[in-house]
Amino acid sequence: MALSAHKLLLLLLPLLLCQSKAKGNTCSDCFTQSSAAYYPNSDKEGTETGACEYGTFGATLNGGDVSAASNLYRNGVGCGACYQVRCTDAKYCSTDGVTIVITDLGASGNTDFILSQHAFARMGQNADAGASLVSLGVVGIEYRSYPNKNITFKIDQSSNLYYFAFQIWYQQGNKDITAVQLCETDNLTCKLLERSHGAVWAVASPPRGPLSVRMLLSGGVDGDETWVVPPNNIPQNWTAGDIYDSGIQV
């Protein structure tokens, strides 16, 4: 006996809902439940001594809204990744939370983030709510990767004509940068860089002229690996300490 369209829809509806829910659980916009603490003496800025080796820039990077992480650090692969972090107590917490950048390795109990005190307080609805959060010390949070800024290259102070190193800031936490090439734009001669430490990539006898950076991205929902070439190059007259906008978000 043939089913009516109405009965067929009723039979299929639970299956459709399950498929939609399963798909939603793998989306890059979904939040992960966790908890966060903060480290002391960081109410105005981050730290200069983080494991990602950002140095003095680590204190003011992202306006001081930075964090140490344990599992998300991933031996330095997670350095520079952006996350939206918001606490879950409706009495104190804003709906937007705060956007942080991973700059250090650290662990505290079962927390995924040890925020700067500056970032921790900014999760509050206002200054008083932020102070109340700080008094709690550890709070429940939810977080997700958040590519709100372009990938940025900061030339390391140790760079010269014979050695080139730079840091990568603001990659999306959903994907990892697992390999980097530096290429001459004139003849496309490329050299593979090594992850020196933390977020620093380096190469001896670097290419000359304007330089194109190629980054291998891996992970994410699909698990694929993809080479990405930002539209903006590092100019020929670069100097140590310079900061360059790649022109893309990943």
Q: Are 149 and 249 in contact (CB under 8 A)?
A: yes
Q: What is the mean pLDDT of residues 147-169?
A: 90
CA 36 – CA 110 distance, rounded (Å): 8
Give me the pLDDT at residue 109, please. Answer: 84
Express each pLDDT in 185-217 by its tens digit: 988 899 999 988 777 899 999 998 899 999 998
Spatial CA neighbour of 144 closest among 189, 100, 184: 100
Tokens for 49, please give them: 């001594």
* Lowest-confidence region among 58-62, 153-157, 228-232: 58-62
Q: What is the mean pLDDT of residues 54-81?
A: 88
Q: What is the mean pLDDT of residues 25-54?
A: 83
Buried b (16+ CB within 10 A) or exposed e, 220-247: beeeeeeeeebeebbeeebeeeeebebe
CA 164 – CA 200 distance, rounded (Å): 10
